[in-house]
Structures are given as structure tokens and as C-alpha cells.
Structure 1
Amino acid sequence: MVRILEGLRIVEGSAFVAAPLAGMTLAQMGADVIRFDRIRGGLDNARWPVTKSGRSLFWAGLNKGKRSLAVDMTTPRGQEIVTRLICQPGEGKGIFLTNLRVRGWMDYDQLKKHRADLIMMSVTGDRRGGPQVDYTVNPAVGFPMATGPEDSTEPVGHVLPAWDCITGQQAALGILAAERHRRLTGNGQIVELALKDMALAMLGNLGIIGEVTVNGYDRPKMGNSLYGAYAQDFVCKCGGRIIIVGLTQRQWDNIKAATHTQEAFEELAVRLGANLNREGARFEHRHAISEVLKPFFDTRRIDEFEAVFNERSVTWSRYRSFKQAVEEDPDISTDNPMFSMLEHPGIGTYLTPGNPIAFSDAERIAPVRAPALGENTDEILSDIGYSDGEIANLHDDLIVAGPA
């Protein structure tokens, strides 16, 4: 089996989402990712969601495919172990991923004394190193004030930690870019990525900074509409809720054909004096468009139009809860090659995703469960040169630990 990142080793000291996600992404492409934690577990060792017995499903989800070292880093011997692991010589090694507040012996300047070409990816809260998380960054950049029902003035947070997710992927990309640079030049470096900067970059990339600066426009709440085009949710006769999207001309034409509203929209366009083939016009007149479409959904159950919508390639979706999605969506099943049924010791067997990227010249790697805390301690110590006797002494002196 070809593993795209075979031979690459990343040492990870992390917690929560962004950095663990970066490490897991690389592990699922074949890299050897070693996560080190305190003997009693890291900050996210018991992060919700958890099982009834208290085992973290969060940990199991974001540490798949890694190896685990449990070590007491408050001791000089523990610090020596982590330093030796991070700075181990060899091609593809010497890469450190962290979002911990590193200082002293674990900061970049100290570590690179042991390996001059060290690559260190440091994920921070803000560019000054301040403590920020997704749920503080998102309000700071404005999205909750533009989220929610049109008539609401209250901010609405988002359950998805989007900036964590994007930052995790960017951190993985940054590591690969720095590793390529090292192969070409022989030079290591520290790579810094701030969660808030990631959000601010997207604020600019999506045109929002320009919209404020150039147009003087502060985007208000618009419910479930699609800004700048047409999308709207409808409650159907059965009580189910769906959303349809008419972003492109083709999507718009497919909606009209599937709902038999071509003539009605021609009349509406004349009445409004608008060209509804323009996506901006569809947004401006979204309420009038929805009034034309509403009777279609008011008088039909979802199962009465689902087949037609799919045949006519309407861009649409049902609204589902997490539970409904897991139980109803065929893409959340082993029919999707990304997923496998995987046993997680102490938790149970359930559907588990692997890497969503499919390479044409490499077989998809099936997901590998997350390790128990300290599960790989002995083999990792052996890998970096400790003898069996030294490993035994480290256990006896409580410097390291195996799985509980």
C-alpha cells in the first residue's frame, strides 16, 4: 500500500481541535505522528462528548492514527525524553507541532540547539500569543452579528468551531511546506499560525473587509438566505424542513423546472422590473421569489418531490439533527469508502472516518483508532535510543507511564 507521507515523523504536543486535527490529518496520510501528554492526560483528555463511563469521544475522534507517549515533563528526565524525541536526527524527523504555551526548554530557540534544522509549527490564539479560542475569535470578527433570523438583534454563535477546523488544515499545510523547504535548502524554521489571523484572513478573502471599507456596508442578519444569491428554507406539508439553492443559472433553472414555476417567475420578473437570471437580483428579491415557491412546499410532503428534485439535479437538502443525519444519510455509512466500522477500546465499535482526500495513485488508508494514553510509551522510548533497563527505570521513577 502506498502511503503518501510515509517516512515523515511529526511530534505533537497539543490540546483541543486545531493542532490535534493537523496531526491527525497528517497521520491519516501515512505520517508517523507521536503525541506526548502528561501522565495524567492532556487538557483535552476528558473533553466532551464522552461516553456514559466518561471516555472521551472527542479524544478518540481527533487522535486517530497517532502514537501516544505519557511523560512527566516537570522533571529534567522527562524534558530530556521529549527533547530527544522532537530533535531526533534523521530524514523526515525533527518536526514539532504544538499549540501549547511553550517556554524555556521547549521553545524554538532552545530546541534548535539540539537540531539546527528543526521545523516547529506553533499554533497560537492571536498573533501576540494571547489566549484565544474559536468561541472568542468568532464574536470578535463579526460573524455572530450576521447570523440568525432577520428580525433578531441578538448575536448567534455557531456550534461548529470553523476557525479551529480551518486552522488545523492550514497548520498541516504549513508543516508540509516547511518540510519541502528544508529538503530543498537544508534550513529549518519556526512557522507561526494564529487562530485569529486565520479568521481575519477569511474575513478578507470572502470580501467582507472590502464590503465594509469600499461600500460602507455592515452586513445584517438574513436568516437562512444565501447572501448575494438565492437560497431559502421551507417547511413542507409533512412538517419536514428543506433548503433549496439557486446560486448559479443552472441551479436556478432546475428549481423552476422542478417546481413548474417558469411562467410564474417570468411574470414576477416583469412585475418587479428585474432580471431574475442575475444572482444579485435573485437575492434582492428573495422574499418575492419565496412567496412564489411557498405554495409548492406547503402542499407537498418531501417524499412527493424528492425523486423529481434529484432527477432534475436541484441543489437542495433536508434539515436534519445530528442523530437523523447519522441514521438516515447513506453517505454516513460504510457505503462511503471514507468510513469503516472500527472498534475503540473502552468505548465500542462505531462508524469512523478516515482521510476524506482520495489519491489516484495511493490506496485509501483505513482509519486507525486513537491510542490509549501512553499506549506506545515503551516503543517510542526504544525508537529514540533508550535501553530496556533505562525504560524500566523511567517507569519505576514515574517519569513515564504506559496505558492505564
Structure 2
Amino acid sequence: MTDTRPAPLTGLKVVEISAFVAAPLGAMTLAQLGADVIRIDPIGGNIDANRWPISDDGTSIYWASLNKGKRSVTLDLKSEEGQKIATQLIAEAGTLVTNLPARGWLSYENLVQHREDLVMLRLGGWHDGSPAVDYTVNAASGFPIITGDDDRPVNNTLPAWDVAAGLYIANGIMAAELDRRASGKGQEITLALSDVMLATVGNLGYIAEVQATGNTRGALGNGLYGAYGQSFECADGRQVMVAVISNKHWRGLGKATGLSEKLEMIGPLLDVDLNTEGGRFEAREAIDAVVRPWFAAHTLAEAVAALKDAGVLVGGFQTFEELVTSDPRCSTENPMLTEIDQPGVGRVLAPRVPLQFSGSPVANATPAPALGGDAAEVLESELGLTADARDQLGSAGVVHLGK
């Protein structure tokens, strides 16, 4: 018998008032798990409404990608009436995600007067309350110093701390919702982007490493710290990444390349144990020198096939274009991805949440709303406002009704 339970967060209502990456990603994750998420923006959109990349007609692909499956309302949030409507929507939903300063009407102290069991999560920059974005937080993390081949700091183009913060936001809301169901009480949750970075640096051992050993890691290029991993150029000019973690991988590298005997000679020569990750790391330059000519004599496809057959972890480097146009893992062959018609953008592949539930499956991805396009529906369904009342608010410039 097929299990037809609804998506895990069906019934949860969330209001989001935010911009950029982390908070929208967190709220979208909740939406893709079944929550009803209403994003509220100022009329005309928040600071991220037109952020690059943009489509040919000027639609922000960035905004559309981070707001799939939500409903959108735009209000004059500088007016008392706009703030009142936003407050009513927050009180009706009972859950708020924001990265705006929690002061005035948007403070927890004010909002909890309208919903006693309110759950509110606010994302900030630094722990002391000063502002920050992913790139400025990353600059302090230590990672840019060990990225690349020298001591010149290189900021990662992936907004890692925003992405991690977005997933912490989703976890925080779900944890508070479980607590509210058990206790009947809401709470305010605060999260600093810098603490996401520090928690990750600590959890990966970088803080303890400095304190315990007095040492810090240097730049390794595409090398793998503490084990053997390296990138190589193949005969066709393509680059491949190889990772050797286990002894099985190590034996596979020798088998695939036909260089087992030469590789085994490295251990006695350098007095290292090649049956350990640390030993292979210490001997990395010698291993590179032995296997590099093999890669130079084989195309990327040949190298990947041989290494995979031998059980070695391997992956070819590719551009975003190659990923989208040539990699079947980034296609509808992958059930996580669905083709959607995104207004202003066109027909595109869109991911649902990458979790797979056997008993309460989540829906496929749905398009992001038009900015403010759900105002009439939301004001009616959530606040019970009549058409006349909605029109009056629209005429007064309090809400954009999309007419």
C-alpha cells in the first residue's frame, strides 16, 4: 500500500522578511519541505530584487532561484499601515524568519504582543551585532589564506557561510517548532553569520589544531590535506581530480595506472608508511611525480574510466555550462531536478530539496512567485480582507496588488 502522508512540514506557516542568500535559502528549504512561506518585501522589491544574474528581460535569475515555492507580498513597510498588515500576517503565521534589524515594529518584544507563542529567527552578521556578509566573514575564517598555491588570500566564489547559515535557519525553525508543540511556548532565535563560520572552523578541527600543535596549514593548491589527493592535466588538456583516502583507493591507483611497483618504492625511499593517510600525504610530491606522466598520456575520459574501474575516487573538472549541457546527473534523469516554467526567465531545471523521504515525500520544485504577485490571495486567505478592503489598501499605496 502506497504511503500518502503529506510533506513533512505541511501545516507550518512562515513569514519571511529578508534579502540576499542565507535567510531566503532557509525559508525556501522550509517551503520545499511543505511549509507555507510568505515572503514580504517593500513595494518594488528589497535590495536583492534585481540582483545579477538577470535574464534578457531583466528578471533576476538569482531572486527567482532562491524563492521557489513561496508566496510574495509587497507592502509599504515604512508606513504604519504597512507595518500593521505585516504584523498581522506574522501573528497569523506564528513563525518569522528575518535578517533585518530586530528593532521597532519588527522587534520580538513588539511582535510577541500579537502572538504569544511566536517563533522568530533573526540572522545577523557578527556576534557583536555589527554587519557582515559572506565575503567579509570568510576573510576572517583562515580559508582564503590556504586556498590556492601561495599566501595570497583567495576568497571562495561559493558563499559557503550563507549556504550553511540558510540550512541552520531551517534547522532552527524546525527545532523551535518541535519545542512549541511540546511546550506551547514560542521563542526568539538569533544566529550570527560569523558564528556559522566559527562553528564550522571549530567543527572541522582548525581551531584545535592551532591550539594543540601551534601550527597552521599552508596553501596546498588542489592537494588534499592529511591524505593523498591531487589534480592532473590529461592528454586532451582537461583537468581531473583524484582522491586516495583508503588503502583500497591506494591499491586502485597503482592498478589503474600500472605503476604499483614504482609507487611502492616511494615508501622505503622516503621512510614513510604508504598504507596510512599521513604517510601518503608526506610522500605526495613523489607520488605526483610518478603518476603525472600517466595522466598526461591519457584523455580525461580514459583516465576517469580506468580509475573508476579500479575503485579510485575521481572526478573531472567542468564548467557550469558543461555541467548543465553534458552531465546527466544535472538533468531530469536525476529525480531531484524538474523542469519548470519560471516567469521572466523561461523553462529551466530546478531542484527540490535534496532529501528523499520514503513516507512523506516532498513535492517537485515549483516556480518562484512574481514579486508581490500573491498579495490579493494572501490578504484574503490569511487576514480575511474583502476585495473592497484590498483595493483601498492598493489605492493608498500600502500594498501592491499587481494590477
What is the TM-score when the length of structure 2 is the normalising length?
Answer: 0.97
Deviation of the 1:353 alpha carbon: 1.1
Assess if the C-alpha contact under 8 Å between 2:32 and 2:362 holds in 1. Answer: no
Assess if the C-alpha contact under 8 Å between 1:245 and 1:252 holds in 2. Answer: no
CA distance in 2, matches of 1:142, 1:330: 35
Structure 2 counterpart of 1:192, from 169, 183, 190: 190
2:107 is the counterpart of 1:107 = yes
Aligned to 1:226: 224
2:16 is the counterpart of 1:12 = yes
2:393 is the counterpart of 1:401 = no
> How many pairs align?
398
Change (3 A) 1:141 1:305: closer
| Letter paired with 1:181 | D
CA distance in 1, matches of 2:76, 2:398: 5
CA distance in 1, matches of 2:368, 2:232: 41
* 3-state SS in 2 of match to 1:231: strand
Aligned to 1:275: 273
Aligned to 1:94: 94
* 3-state SS in 1 of match to 2:169: helix
CA distance in 1, matches of 2:305, 2:205: 37
Aligned to 1:337: 335
CA distance in 2, matches of 1:25, 1:250: 37
Deviation of the 1:65 alpha carbon: 0.2
CA distance in 1, matches of 2:38, 2:362: 21
**Root mean square deviation, CA, Å:** 1.2
Aligned to 2:41: 37
2:50 is the counterpart of 1:46 = yes
Deviation string, structure 1 residues 43-96 (Cα, Å, up to 9, x no partner): 1001111112221000010000000011101111111100000011xxxx3000
Deviation string, structure 1 residues 349-397 (Cα, Å, up to 9, x no partner): 1111111111111234110100001111011111212222211100111
* 3-state SS in 2 of match to 1:96: strand
Report sequence identity in percent: 43
Deviation of the 1:252 alpha carbon: 1.9
Aligned to 1:312: 310
With 17-26 and 357-366 compared, the bigger mean Cα shift is at 357-366
What is the TM-score when the length of structure 1 is the normalising length?
Answer: 0.96
Aligned to 2:299: 301
| Letter paired with 1:367 | A
Aligned to 2:370: 372
Deviation string, structure 1 residues 143-178 (Cα, Å, up to 9, x no partner): 1111111xx221111000000000000110000000
CA distance in 2, matches of 1:253, 1:360: 37
Aligned to 1:122: 122
CA distance in 1, matches of 2:305, 2:144: 36
* 3-state SS in 2 of match to 1:317: strand
| Letter paired with 2:398 | I
Assess if the C-alpha contact under 8 Å between 1:11 and 1:34 holds in 2. Answer: yes
Deviation of the 1:322 alpha carbon: 1.2
Q: Structure 2: where are the runs of 5+ without partners?
A: none
* 3-state SS in 2 of match to 1:59: helix
With 231-240 and 354-363 compared, the bigger mean Cα shift is at 354-363
| Letter paired with 2:12 | L
Assess if the C-alpha contact under 8 Å between 1:147 and 1:155 holds in 2. Answer: yes
2:76 is the counterpart of 1:72 = yes
Structure 1 counterpart of 2:251, from 232, 253, 258: 253
With 59-68 and 254-263 compared, the bigger mean Cα shift is at 254-263
Deviation of the 1:246 alpha carbon: 0.4
CA distance in 2, matches of 1:245, 1:159: 22
